Structure 1
Amino acid sequence: MSYPLSLPAAAPLITLTHPKPSLWVIELHNGQDNRLTADLVDHGLKPALDAVERHWREQWRAAQSAKDKSGGKGALIIVGRKNQDKFFSNGLDFANVVSNPNFFPMTFNPLLSRLLTFPIPTIAAINGHCYAGGFMLSLACDYRVMTDGSKRNAWLCMNEVHFGAVWPRSFAAIVRAKVGDHRLQRKIALEGHRFTAKEAYEDGLLDAIVQGQTAEILIKAEEIADKFSVNAQGGVWGLIKACLLFPGRPCTQVI
């Protein structure tokens, strides 16, 4: 496979890179605020995830065949546009989402489910504001790293309650799965609280905050990727996650 891979090809909204054998990076670059449109999801993120998984599985199988105990590692970072520090994602393209009855069942929910059970560790490198659907995208990842806001303000927020938009069931399911405290669930969903990075870290929504902006966030995200990419070698990272998140699914190895 040739990198960088820009998708969709005609008008790229994401770029996939492979900076080292065990790491893949997806950069969102739909305008300046990375709205999550149907095109970005269906023709950008989904095929990029396909490409990452296919490439990792090739490496994993090769390592298994060669009995290479050091092979088969892998991790994925998702980051907002790298040449700015204002937005990770400003959420869904709301006007078009509400007019498209297939957006959640056919487009966004399958993306969230795919990330929730992705076979290698996933890290959201939150390099700016992270709202609504962008917040859900980050929660669907395994780890979250964010700027501490000391150089530029950045917030996490589910603000649907403030403009009268009902949540799809997928959003509620992710918050229940990833946020254990009912008071914090209320704060996110019903109060639409705008979390600073410090608040989000203290409440367990973030795994790390860093002083700096995109470059420093990516360095920390890569540290986490390096630490946990080894856990993909067993081939069961995504299967164990599926057992935790979807109790009805059989926990059998499909590699």
Structure 2
Amino acid sequence: MSFPLSLPAGQPLLTVTHPSESVWQLELHNGADSRLTRHLLQEAFLPALDAVESDWKRSLKAGGKGDAALVIVGNTKQDKFFSNGLDYENAIKQADFFPKVFNPWLARLLTFPMPTICAINGHAFAAGFLLSLMCDYRVLTAGRAWCCFNEVHFGAPLPPPFAQLIRVKLVDPQLVRKCALEGHRFVPQELLEAGVVERLVEGKSSEVLAAALELAESKASLAKTGVWGTIKEEIYREVLVAIAENRTVSRSAKL
């Protein structure tokens, strides 16, 4: 596998690099605010995850030590957004978007077989915040950045997988209520104090990314036994069941 890898070919929406022997980096650049569109998820993000895992497994077969971690960051050419969430209006017009594209992406990233570190270099709204929560660790800019699920404010119900992930990742009932029912815009210090992020970083996207890469290096050895993803399948079983059920319900509704 040759890196950098830009996907999809021709009009890339993300780029995968391999900055060190044990760390891969996925940078979103679907515009400045990295909206999570069908095209991005299906033609770029999922193939990027496959490419990273395949490269890691090839290294293992070649006698590599097996250390591995993945860092995900928003467009580093700006410092305003990590991700502005789904292209919602178009997503809800596509009957198969959630069961065929979004839910498989959720399950794939949530159980990825190496530590995943999210470098939140700006605002993370709705599915953008969800993306950060699906990762195993989070590093957040200490600057101006709101993280929230704002569905309650624009009248969109939370899909069951969203709700389950919020409950599992945030744990505290008061925090869950503020997040899901009030659409509270969390500022960096709140998320640090709640234990949702591991570290706040002063400076621009480059500093946030550097801190995430450092954290990734420190966690990479956890992948080498090959059970990281399997363990996540167990601890996030409720979320995976909700994803599977949501896919079934969506297919039934379509029929």
- Would the TM-score normalized by the shorter structure come out above 0.5? yes
Q: Which runs of 5+ in 1 are unaligned?
A: 250-255
CA distance in 2, matches of 1:198, 1:123: 19
- 3-state secondary structure, aligned to 1:24: strand
Structure 2 residue 169 is matched with structure 1 residue 169: no
Residue 10 of structure 1, CA deviation: 2.1
CA distance in 1, matches of 2:34, 2:236: 27
Q: Which runs of 5+ in 2 are unaligned?
A: 241-255
**In the alignment, what sits opposite 1:235?**
226
| Runs of 4+ deviating beyond 6 Å | none
Shift in alpha-carbon separation, 1:237–1:110, aligned structure 2, 3 A: same
**In the alignment, what sits opposite 1:29?**
29
**In the alignment, what sits opposite 2:169?**
178
Q: Which moved more, 1:160-169 or 1:199-208?
A: 199-208
1:104 and 1:168 in contact (8 A); partners too: no
**In the alignment, what sits opposite 2:81?**
87
**In the alignment, what sits opposite 2:210?**
219
Structure 2 residue 6 is matched with structure 1 residue 6: yes
Residue 247 of structure 1, CA deviation: 6.5
The CA RMSD measured in Å over matched residues stands at: 1.4
Map Cα deviations across residues 190-241 of structure 1 (whole Å, 9 max, x no partner).
Answer: 0000010111111122111111121111111011101110010111111111
**In the alignment, what sits opposite 1:253?**
none
CA distance in 2, matches of 1:174, 1:101: 22
CA distance in 1, matches of 2:133, 2:149: 12
For residue 228 of structure 2, what is the amino acid of its counterpart?
W
Shift in alpha-carbon separation, 1:237–1:95, aligned structure 2, 3 A: same
For residue 165 of structure 1, what is the amino acid of its counterpart?
A
1:61 and 1:72 in contact (8 A); partners too: no
For residue 78 of structure 1, what is the amino acid of its counterpart?
I
- 3-state secondary structure, aligned to 1:9: coil
**In the alignment, what sits opposite 2:247?**
none
**In the alignment, what sits opposite 1:123?**
117
Map Cα deviations across residues 85-114 of structure 1 (whole Å, 9 max, x no partner).
Answer: 000000000110110121111111111111
CA distance in 1, matches of 2:98, 2:41: 11
CA distance in 1, matches of 2:155, 2:206: 36
For residue 90 of structure 1, what is the amino acid of its counterpart?
N
TM-score w.r.t. length of structure 2: 0.91
1:60 and 1:73 in contact (8 A); partners too: no
CA distance in 1, matches of 2:204, 2:239: 41
Q: Which moved more, 1:123-132 or 1:108-117?
A: 108-117
Aligned residues: 240
- Quick check: which one's helix share is greater? 2
TM-score w.r.t. length of structure 1: 0.91
Q: Which moved more, 1:189-198 or 1:212-221?
A: 212-221
